């Protein structure tokens, strides 16, 4: 399957999320063995990225509540070396963060060369929740699309590859997942009435996401809409796209600092 063709938001194209089926699996059920094979490739490529230290990878996850950001990160990145991988969750800005421009806190969390940085929510919140809840005027958030594109272009120019995933679930699937949090005592702690209340803004969020993904899917940093009702299929697609991105970096192990052929260990 051509993953790019099926899931990419083609730069310059019009996006209608209602035309992207969140339950789509293309008739394929990915079994555990197939996913593990892909994750094994990912582990090896991350080791190579860490050794080479010529490039960095930034992975951005966006989704509505219960969309699966935590679960995807937990499963897909389960075997990577934590030394070379950092997850940053962006919540309501602190007083210090709010006193700076909206990209300030994000810039500090971008990965250094040789590392993978993962954003659980991201700078896109400033054209999503900020827009939906009218936290800043329209003339403020509208300018942020171009600022985001410029910011990402700067990262790319400095050898950071960017992967952006929107984990797309249906409203019915979100309902099931919220109910599951109520019914499972081990997951009660994850339940929040705020998540329920946010459902009344579903259509507003869909429109905000469509605009953000349209305006910020570029040739060098495209967005991918990942069908996420099926968790295993979601994990497989995300893992495969990460592997493809790492393979495209043409990574190499660096030469040893000394002439190995002359080393004698007594």
What is the 3-class SS of 3-65, one letter each residue? HHHHHECCCCCCCCHHHCCCCCCCCCCCCHHHHHHHHHHHHHHHHHHHHHCCCEEEEEEEECC
Q: Please tell me the pTM assigned to this model.
A: 0.95
In DSSP terms, 87 is beta-bridged to: 118
Work out the widest C-alpha separation in the chain, in whole angstroms.
72
Residue spans per domain, the chain: 3-9+32-252
- Are residues 25 and 50 in contact, defined by beta-carbon separation less than 8 angstroms? no
Residues 6+ apart with CB under 8 A from 77: 42, 85, 87, 116, 118
Class of the CATH domain delimited by 3-9+32-252: alpha beta
pLDDT digits (tens, 9 = 90+) for 150-203: 999 999 999 999 999 999 999 999 999 999 999 988 988 888 888 889 999 999
Token pair for residue 63?
């989704």
Question: What's the pLDDT tens digit per position in 5-18?
Answer: 899 999 999 999 99
> Who contacts 144 (Cβ-Cβ below 8 Å, separation ≥6)?
102, 126, 127
Whether 123 and 149 have beta carbons less than 8 Å apart is answered as: no
Average pLDDT of the chain to the nearest whole number: 94
């Amino acid at each position: 399957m051509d993953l790019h063709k099926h899931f990419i938001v083609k730069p310059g194209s019009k996006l209608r999320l209602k035309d992207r089926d969140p339950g789509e699996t293309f008739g394929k059920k990915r079994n555990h063995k197939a996913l593990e094979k892909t994750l094994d490739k990912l582990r090896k490529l991350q080791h190579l990225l860490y050794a080479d230290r010529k490039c960095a990878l930034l992975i951005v996850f966006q989704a509505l509540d219960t969309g699966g950001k935590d679960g995807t990160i937990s499963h897909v990145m389960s075997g990577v070396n934590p030394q070379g991988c950092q997850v940053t969750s962006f919540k309501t800005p602190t007083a210090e963060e709010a006193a700076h421009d909206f990209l300030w806190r994000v810039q500090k969390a971008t990965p250094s060369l040789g590392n993978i940085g993962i954003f659980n929510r991201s700078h896109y919140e400033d054209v999503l929740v900020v827009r939906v809840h009218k936290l800043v005027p329209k003339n403020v958030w509208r300018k942020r699309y171009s600022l985001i594109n410029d910011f990402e272009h700067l990262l790319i120019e400095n050898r950071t590859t960017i992967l952006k995933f929107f984990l797309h679930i249906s409203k019915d699937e979100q309902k099931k997942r919220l109910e599951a949090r109520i019914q499972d005592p081990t997951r009660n702690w994850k339940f929040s009435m705020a998540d329920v209340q946010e459902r009344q803004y579903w259509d507003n969020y869909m429109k905000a996401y469509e605009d953000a993904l349209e305006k910020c899917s570029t040739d060098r940093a495209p967005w991918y809409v990942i069908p996420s009702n099926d968790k295993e299929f979601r994990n497989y697609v995300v893992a495969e796209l990460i592997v493809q991105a790492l393979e495209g970096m043409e990574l190499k192990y660096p030469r040893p600092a000394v002439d190995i052929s002359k080393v004698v260990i007594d």
